[in-house]
Amino acid sequence: MIGLFFAWATGEAIIFYRWGKLGAPPTPGVLALSSGLYVGLAVIGEYRPARPVVTAFAWAVNAAILMQVLGKAPTGTTGWPPALIDDPSVIMPPGAAAAAASSAASSAAAGSGAPVVNPGTQLAG
């Protein structure tokens, strides 16, 4: 089973290498799908006569994926890095928009003669 473990680790390294060439971290779905393949192979490998075949198949999958990755530029859109949130109505705690909104509310309330309530204060009643 140690050969299958190293095949899994090598397969994950190939995935990280490919996504690194794209300039983005690998998506969780890609890692889960490949890990699921190796988990399935490990379950089959529990049957001792099938273990060498399963290990050889795992290394063959790695070789096939490596031949797909090496020698050509990766293509695809990754959506990485994510776009900046520049909408002023979106409040990211404790971002500048949150601080600006609370100071504007307190200054408006102070000018009207209404009591100023801190948003983090628990009111009785």
Rounded Cα–Cα distance for residues 16 and 25 (Å): 7
Is 82 within the bounds of a domain? no
Average pLDDT along the chain, 125 residues, taken 10 residues at a time: 90 90 84 92 94 95 89 71 75 57 52 56 58
**Dihedrals φ, ψ of 118, to 5°?**
-70, 130
Based on its alpha-carbon atoms, the radius of gyration of the chain, rounded to whole angstroms, reads 27
Is 45 within the bounds of a domain? yes
Number of structural domains in the chain: 1
Is 81 within the bounds of a domain? no
Structural tokens at position 117: 């309530």
Q: Domain range holding 33?
A: 2-69
Is 23 within the bounds of a domain? yes
Is 32 within the bounds of a domain? yes
Is 13 within the bounds of a domain? yes
Is 6 within the bounds of a domain? yes
pTM for the structure as a whole: 0.58
Is 51 within the bounds of a domain? yes
